[in-house]
Every structure is written in structure tokens, then in C-alpha cells.
Amino acid sequence: MFEPFNLTGKYAVVVGGAGGIGKAIAGGLLQSGAVVGIASRNLDSLNEAADLLRKQANGRVEVFQVDASEESSIAGLAENVVKSFGRVDILVNAQGFNTKGPALEFDMTEWDRLYTVNVRGVMLCCKVFGKYMVDQGGGKIINLSSVRGIRANAGGNSAYCSSKAAVDLITKSIATELAKNNVQVNALGPVLIATKMMEKVMAEPGRAEQYTRNIPMGRLGKVEDVVGAAVFLASSAANFITGQVLYIDGGLTAAG
């Protein structure tokens, strides 16, 4: 193994770690040697994901319940993680969802709900865990953005796209603020991946083909595509990289 990718002795928490992308990233961190905590609201799905991860790699996986729309819940998560692990070196914010609707008729209650999780929840996790990282002398934060943070589409995506643009600038802002504290903050920007969040879109006839046509590599993403980039950003190989959004998109954002 290229030694900088070895995460032995590192403690990671993946919020949204029972979800499609979060679970895949948790698996990659685990296989690279990290102790991993996965966190979200539903304990059953967390336990199921943890069992699966333990079968994939012979490492330590803990589950933590959190509602990332509540500041007190996130503060409780950080306390529990630190109580259990002693420290937290890597935070992955893989929570989120999408609610679509035509811009001129957008249900603003849904808008607020989405922003509370996708934007405020990411900011709060960075804020709460960032403090622990500063106090312990460093850490890595990886936020799940999307190609939709820089690329609009006409699919009723104004809330989701703008929430991911906010994630990009939260990432860059905190990266610059914490640069001298040895906390690197980066984001990953995948293109469409068939997870639970995308079930409805994938069920629309012709929709997957329409998305695929725009991707130079000619296919949609897979959860495995995100793992290497996450391990890289979590590792000491990325110690001088901060404030970046790394697109995992088969060339979509490179094309005109």
C-alpha cells in the first residue's frame, strides 16, 4: 500500500453512512484501516449497514443516531463519537436528499426542509466537528456536493442545485478559515448515481438515458466511483489540498 493512503489509527465518522454513497465511503475508509462510525436517523438501517461493512472488512464499525437537521443532535453526536473513539480525524457529510418542483410553484416548506438538512446540517456538522479537529490539531472534512452545484438542469431542481452550490462555498469558506489549523475541507461532486435518493428519477422512462447522453464517458456513476476519491481526501496524501470540489462525473463538467 502507498503509505499515505493507510488510515490505520484514524477515526472517521460518516453522516449519512447507511445511505448509498455514505456506506460505500465508510467501507473504503474501513478497508484503508480507519475505525468508522456511521450516523443517521434510522437505527435499523444503520445496524444493517454496519453488519455489512463488518463482513467486508475486519475493522471496527460503530453506529450513532443523529438528526442532522438539529444542532443539539449534532452536538450530541460529536460528544458520543469523541466519548467512544477519543478523537475524530475524518468527517464525511454524506447526508442529504432531493425534493423537486417547478420553480414558480415550489413548496417553500419543502424548500426549508431541504435546506435544513443539505445546507444547515452540513454547516453545523462542519462547525461542531471542526471545533474538535482544531482542538486536537487537525482533521479532514469531506462534504458531499454534486455536479448540480455548478450545473443547473430543467428538472425542477432549483432547491437541490442551489443547496449544493451552498455546500461548495461552505466548503471553500471553512477551508480557508481552518487552513492554519491543519483542518482540510474538501467536497466531492458526483454525477447521478442510482441510490435510494434517485429512485424516482431512475424510474422515469428515458431519464437515465437522457442523463447518460451528456456524460462523455457514456455511463452514470456508481457508488464505488466515489470511494477512492474519498479515501484520497481523507488521507495524508491530500494534506496540501483544501477548499476543492473534486468532480466524479465521467467528464460531465469538463464538457462544454
Ligand X SMILES: NC(=O)c1ccc[n+]([C@@H]2O[C@H](COP(=O)([O-])OP(=O)(O)OC[C@H]3O[C@@H](n4cnc5c(N)ncnc54)[C@H](OP(=O)(O)O)[C@@H]3O)[C@@H](O)[C@H]2O)c1
Kindly list the residues in this chain that would bind ligand X in the complex (CB under 6 A). Answer: 15-16, 18-22, 40-42, 45, 66-69, 94-97, 117, 144, 146, 190, 192-193, 195-198
For the sheet containing 90-93, what is the strand order? 61-65, 35-40, 11-15, 90-93, 139-144, 183-190, 245-248
- H or E stretch covering 199: helix 199-203
- H or E stretch covering 90: strand 90-93
Comparison of 117 and 134: residue with beta carbon closer to ligand X: 117
Comparison of 13 and 144: residue with beta carbon closer to ligand X: 144
Q: Residue 174 and residue 230: Cα distance in Å, rounded? A: 18
Pair 232, 226: CB distance under 8 Å: no
> Could you tell me the smallest distance in angstroms from the CB atom of residue 20 to ligand X?
4
> Could you tell me the smallest distance in angstroms from the CB atom of residue 154 to ligand X?
17
Comparison of 43 and 103: residue with beta carbon closer to ligand X: 43
> Could you tell me the smallest distance in angstroms from the CB atom of residue 104 to ligand X?
24
The active-site residue, picked from 11, 132, 160, 247, is: 160
User: HSE-up of 150 (CA within 13 Å, CB side)?
Assistant: 17
Comparison of 67 and 177: residue with beta carbon closer to ligand X: 67
- Give the cell for residue 231: 479515501
| Residue showing the smallest CB distance to ligand X in the complex | 19
Pair 52, 23: CB distance under 8 Å: yes
> Could you tell me the smallest distance in angstroms from the CB atom of residue 78 to ligand X?
14
Pair 106, 129: CB distance under 8 Å: no
- Residue 9 Ramachandran class (φ > 0 left, ψ -120 to 50 alpha, else beta): left
160 belongs to the catalytic site: yes
> Could you tell me the smallest distance in angstroms from the CB atom of residue 97 to ligand X?
5
Comparison of 10 and 23: residue with beta carbon closer to ligand X: 23
Q: Catalytic residue positions?
A: 160
